[in-house]
Structure 1
């Protein structure tokens, strides 16, 4: 009887191991390891949804395009470095002057991609560029000395940009927009979060352009020409309905010349222009000083295209040593409606009475 019982258990276990309970081998996530001298792109092309491409320390001269949903592209820290190729561009990411591209299509977002733990540097346009993504995570990426943006995301939702370092990029360290290719109303990011990043030495630290429903929180933003820009225009819906809070915005006093779209910049902490229903709360804004029309600690600036700023709330911020003032409102009562300033700790404002 005992013998039969043992045989029964063994047979049952065998059935479970070989029958319905066994997962197909193809469904098991794989890790594709890339060493110096090997191609990251080849590993990405060979990977399937759920797989990880793990890039060991070293310098890789190529641009990498990711369009596989659920893929993780991960280095092993800052010593995993992606630089421009020395040969002719091999894919559309490289042709666009970008380092790493995560791309869906206009009709279908690529979902659940993660890029983490590596450095992208020296690209003529963007270190990491994402378009048409859903749930993209960018974590512990160092984007340094790229020609335009360090980390950029367009036409995307549910993004998480967390714990990254963006240094000395030509325009914004972190750039988020609906699109730069056409005129459209502000897009709903469905809860994108930009948090716990270090953003330093760029033209603008963080730019949020024509977007709604996101948070810029707990970032360290210093040494840029301007710290945070939230920008709208004449399109509908208007940019806004978002939060800028708990950021450390200090001494963004680098000087940047005028461009075709924007006046010269220096000493701007947090700037809102052409926005509605933006909450700017509990930030530390200190030592931002300059003589640009947009200089100051927290600045509500009249839109260059004549769009009013309405129902913005500046609340509970700690401001000091900003020039020409800690709080600046260039909107008039007739144009900027129902913007409020309350419970801020500050020394001076333009006009007087906002502190």
Structure 2
């Protein structure tokens, strides 16, 4: 593996004790940065990266099980971690920053375009330009790591794809980080399992136009996983198209999160096919518990959807929505003041505090019908001040165009005033 010789990063045992290197092992230094100290194989070592040094160079030299400590400073990078389970620790999300220099810059740098991470993302987006990798640049991207991944105490800024993303991880923990202005996801766990996304801050930036508003797909996403076992807890997500998005993802909990200023606060969506790493599978999205969150003031307007339907889904003012998914519990949440930024009659996705909806199949190369939204509990929530507090099925006149909800829908014990049907809130 090629290793540049300019970094001054140091490697040592976890106890901080450095290991002297025997003369007979000197040949091994040709594969390491010039001033790195070799501490033996097998992982479990610690690297320290200081300002002016390259995170990517140290990642390339590290092994699964190693820890990389990034000191306070600004690092202009997009880091690809290929098949390694690493722990990456910053000095704090306000002081350790991984930034992309110019959001509109084509990623024509050979060291970016040639990495497995960007190649994998480009393959997953066949409609993208194969010669332009700007859309596929993420702050920290873990591609099929061989062991657990942990990221704490860093911030990622302005990357045209994701802030912190893992594809194919078993054990993905992201805690006390900050993301700003990413165009896809702030934090993404894709076809991954045992994800823990805790106490992070995500802020979206609208870089679209008046006709094509867009501030990134979602602040936090759990996608394309039949066994997500995801725990999304105590995060603050503002200014994205979707605050927290569970798409083609099964088994997870969202609790004590704050989502505001998005187009949709929380969305659980059973699509017809996975997207990552490709569209060869179908996952029955659902089995999520959404408890004790606050979804308020999600009043942005954006265009949402995939491929041909993107321009058809005008979205604004939705607190929480369940689309086609099954076995979802929405309990003890505060869902208030989610109002459309445009005339609600112009929307193709209804503005409501809580919406339970069925969409016809689309994005559907496998010919799969995900079926209606089924087995949903909406209990003991405070749902107030929204364009419409509770919606079960599409409102007239759209109800004639979309399939009805399925069986076993229970809506009770909520504080709400307006609903369709009207009986959901007692008239």
Q: TM-score range by the shorter chain?
A: 0.7 to 0.9
| Residue in 1 that maps onto 2:196 | 160
Q: What TM-score comes out, normalization by structure 2 length?
A: 0.70
Residues 178-208 of structure 1, C-alpha deviation per residue, up to 9 Å, x if partnerless?
0xxxxxxx6121x211111110011110111
Q: Tell me the CA shift for residue 122 of structure 1.
A: 1.2
The structure-2 alpha-carbon separation of the partners of 1:150 and 1:334, relative to structure 1 and needing over 3 Å to count, comes to closer
| Residue in 2 that maps onto 1:82 | 98
Contact 1:187/1:211 (<8 A) preserved: yes
SS at 1:233's partner residue? coil
Contact 1:48/1:68 (<8 A) preserved: no
Partner Cα separation in structure 1 for residue 86 and residue 405 of structure 2: 48
Q: Does 1:137 align with 2:173?
A: yes
| Residue in 1 that maps onto 2:353 | 297
Residues 229-265 of structure 1, C-alpha deviation per residue, up to 9 Å, x if partnerless?
1101346652111111111100000111355445111
Instruction: List gaps (5 residues or longer) in structure 1.
Output: 1-23, 179-185
Partner Cα separation in structure 1 for residue 230 and residue 170 of structure 2: 10
Pairs within 5 Å for 1:4-43: 29-43=44-58
Q: Judge which range, 137-146 or 168-177, deviates more.
A: 168-177
Partner Cα separation in structure 2 for residue 258 and residue 240 of structure 1: 20
Higher share of residues assigned strand: 1
Partner Cα separation in structure 2 for residue 79 and residue 89 of structure 1: 29
The structure-2 alpha-carbon separation of the partners of 1:32 and 1:267, relative to structure 1 and needing over 3 Å to count, comes to same
Q: Tell me the CA shift for residue 299 of structure 1.
A: 0.4
| Residue in 2 that maps onto 1:338 | 408
| Residue in 2 that maps onto 1:12 | none
Q: What TM-score comes out, normalization by structure 1 length?
A: 0.83
Partner Cα separation in structure 1 for residue 220 and residue 56 of structure 2: 24
Of 314, 319, 331, the residue aligned with 1:281 is: 331
Instruction: List gaps (5 residues or longer) in structure 2.
Output: 1-38, 103-107, 119-132, 205-214, 274-281, 362-368
Length, aligned pairs only:
319
SS at 1:43's partner residue? helix
Q: Would you identify which runs of 4 or more consecutive aligned residues in structure 1 move more than 6 Å?
A: none
Q: Does 1:223 align with 2:261?
A: yes
Of 216, 226, 250, the residue aligned with 1:212 is: 250
Q: Judge which range, 43-52 or 244-253, deviates more.
A: 43-52
Partner Cα separation in structure 2 for residue 340 and residue 89 of structure 1: 55
Contact 1:111/1:136 (<8 A) preserved: no
Residues 11-60 of structure 1, C-alpha deviation per residue, up to 9 Å, x if partnerless?
xxxxxxxxxxxxx9756843211111101112122223332111111111
Partner Cα separation in structure 2 for residue 237 and residue 342 of structure 1: 29
